[in-house]
Structure 1
Amino acid sequence: MRLFLALMPPPSLRGRLGALADAAQARCGGRRMPDESLHLTLAFLGEVEETRAAALVDWVSRLAVPPGEWRLNAWGRFQRPGIVWVGGQAPDPALVALHCRLWDELESQGLEGRPSRYVPHVTLLRRAERLETEGLPTPALTWRYRHLLLVRSFTRDDGAHYATLARSA
């Protein structure tokens, strides 16, 4: 099964992120991410066997995540594959530290896949026709977090869907 560790925004923030996604889609085109799928990936694990997934559920359930606050105040884009996102003007030190800590622990459990670079962001659009974020409203959001989730991603005819397998302590 395909897994990742993520922060999920509270409903009020999710709605505000959705409004930014609408503005971005009007300017850039592309496929807008549904509000319910908006998240911050901390660690993408890829395909994981069921026995290992069960161990990860147990690990995440016992994991303590220090509460934090992330300021989303900048637009960004990844040229390939045409992604438009919101995040911080600079990588947030607490999120980068959490990402590194998670990968240290995941690697000690035998998992591989740590990226060479981590840019905390929330993907709003995929396959954008234009990567022109100039002139879009400046994001000014604060995301307070206390927990992370172990999430399973699966694809249906209507796109990707997520199921929460575990929540940190």
Structure 2
Amino acid sequence: MIRAFISVNLTPEIHRKIGEVEQSFNIKGIRLVEPEMVHVTLKFLGNIEESMVGDIEAALKNVTVKPFLAGFRSLGGFPNTRSPRVIWIGAQGDFNGLNEQVEGLMEGLGFKREGRFEPHVTIGRVKFPTPEQKQKLPQLFEKYKDYDAGSMYVDSICLMKSTLGPNGPKYDVLKEIKLAR
């Protein structure tokens, strides 16, 4: 069994910019995501049989969304900025169309559809609220509300493997599928 998800992976330049902004959020109780591991999750598959990789790849080749320009802007928190559990940067572009097609194709393979999709990249998780967070986070969300991590051309999606370890997850590309031109 492998733990898998489908994503849009980011460019090294966007990872670098995210790493710079993450420094401001290096606060006790916040677990930051390693900048080079930040991505847009289109669909979390969970544990799958390794034998399904070929079927998933074949299904994903049916995505008809054309390559598009994506922007990574604004910074916020889920469920809200007053008491966030997740710190994110918004993802702009045809991610909703991409997600809708991926969900439909994966449903055809027996995966349940997920709920509402909010295009974003997760840069941190709030493990436990602290007085320092309550003081600093509202100021940081205000400071970075118009943040711009840059743009990139999205021309592929990836089937990823996630290996959980004591220092957090490790991600490996199993298959990269180019978007139809």
Summarize deviations over 1:110-159 as a string: whole Å, max 9, x none: 221x2220001111111264343122373222232111110011111211
Larger radius of gyration: 2
- State how many pairs are aligned: 164
Asked whether the 8 Å contact 1:65–1:147 carries over to 2, the reply is no
TM-score between the two structures when normalised by the length of structure 1: 0.84
Asked whether the 8 Å contact 1:71–1:143 carries over to 2, the reply is yes
Between 1 and 2, higher relative CO (CA 8 Å, sep ≥ 6) is seen in: 1
Structure 1 spans left out of the alignment, 5+ residues: none
2:23 corresponds in structure 1 to 22
Query: Matched residues, percent identical?
Result: 24
1:103 shift after superposition: 0.7
1:98 corresponds in structure 2 to 98
2:90 corresponds in structure 1 to 87
Distance, in Å, in 1 between the alignment partners of 2:72 and 2:154 is: 13
2:146 corresponds in structure 1 to 138
TM-score between the two structures when normalised by the length of structure 2: 0.79
The residue matched to 1:96 in structure 2 has which SS? helix
1:99 shift after superposition: 0.3
Distance, in Å, in 2 between the alignment partners of 1:61 and 1:14 is: 27
The residue matched to 2:143 in structure 1 has which SS? coil
RMSD: 2.3
The residue matched to 2:69 in structure 1 has which SS? strand
The residue matched to 2:116 in structure 1 has which SS? coil
The residue matched to 1:168 in structure 2 has which SS? strand
1:41 shift after superposition: 0.5
Asked whether the 8 Å contact 2:63–2:101 carries over to 1, the reply is no
Relative to structure 1, the CA distance from residue 146 to residue 93 in structure 2 (aligned partners, 3 Å threshold; closer, same or farther) is closer
Distance, in Å, in 2 between the alignment partners of 1:93 and 1:87 is: 10
Asked whether the 8 Å contact 1:4–1:43 carries over to 2, the reply is yes
Relative to structure 1, the CA distance from residue 76 to residue 137 in structure 2 (aligned partners, 3 Å threshold; closer, same or farther) is closer
Q: Is the aligned partner of 1:163 residue 2:166?
A: no
User: As a proportion of its length, which structure holds more strand?
Assistant: 2
Asked whether the 8 Å contact 1:3–1:44 carries over to 2, the reply is yes
Asked whether the 8 Å contact 1:75–1:86 carries over to 2, the reply is yes
Equivalent residues in 2 for 1:29-48 (5 A)? Answer: 30-48=30-48
